[in-house]
Amino acid sequence: MIDIQKLEKQDFGEIIFKPYMKDYTTYKVGGMAEAMVFPKSVESLIGLLTYLKKEKIRYKVVGNGSNLIFSDSGFDGVIIKLDEFTHLNISGNQITVGAGYNLMRLSIKLSRSGYRNLEFASGIPGTLGGAIYMNAGAYQSDMGYIVKSAKLLTPDLEIKTFFNHDLNFHYRTSFLKEHEGYICLEATLELPFGDAKESMELIAERKKRRVESQPLSYPSAGSVFRNPKDIPAWKLVELAGFKGRKIGGAQVSEKHANFIINVDGATAADIRKLIDEIKESVKEKYNVLLKEEQEFVK
């Protein structure tokens, strides 16, 4: 149990006590956490982590919650959100951005300013740090193509610069995802100059396609499964007969079979059960083990 008064006295930043994670995830599911803290600086973050480690309090750093499924029973610890880490510095084709910066907003801003190669991110509802953590991508591109370097906070609470090759970017994964305890503080992107009009037209065209092909009117976390090598995940889900399948308030979208949507007060357990059934069926019928893009948090 967290000593609320003791935590408040530390002055690490804004604190919300007993937040429901369904209010901070795009799936709109998840139970109560003990507290949520918004560190106001890197120094505050280090102070908070030092305190939590000393007190043996569990914690998790989250971005927009666009790839997380929190348990219905909640999270017995502190959620850390880096919403205050939104600094932006542009110098030629080098753009340094705080980990809490909204990725969609960054994509639009830089594309409109005449930078290329970030158009793919205009429909990804995460933060910069979260996108680097999972190497978010779309349209045959991802963060690994544009991140020059990143400042990470190590488990020993030291700040170190990792360059692109150190970050080990691969399909929907990175050094951060594979090494627990490292936290992205900021990143430097390297983007070529281009034609702003062309970039914005491309973004508009892709937005139109998303609206037509994805169930954006319902809470979801985007693509559920990574694409196997030879066949898209949605096709396997559809062939296995799961398009439109519903468990509780969770449903495989009729519009796009690699989306699970919250149509009627779904629980995390509903989503988990549906994912497990799809994986079991696809493995049995096609001998393909689907891997989730999304992360379950207990």
DSSP assignment letter at 229: S
Backbone phi, then psi, for 76, in 5-degree steps?
-85, 65
Q: Which of 34, 119, 292, 293 is catalytic?
A: 293
CA-CA distance, 77 to 286, in Å (whole number)?
40
Residue type, 298: K
Strands 75-81 and 147-153: unpaired
Q: Which of 116, 172, 245, 272 is catalytic?
A: 172
Both tokens of 6, joined, read 């003791």
Both tokens of 166, joined, read 């150190």
Both tokens of 79, joined, read 């959620």
Strands 260-262 and 147-153: unpaired
CA-CA distance, 107 to 120, in Å (whole number)?
8
Burial class of residue 230, CB neighbours in 10 A (0-12, 13-18, 19+): exposed
CA-CA distance, 144 to 173, in Å (whole number)?
10
Q: Which of 111, 149, 223, 253 is catalytic?
A: 223
Is 201 one of the catalytic residues? no
Residue type, 241: G
Is 172 one of the catalytic residues? yes
The set of catalytic residues is 172, 223, 293
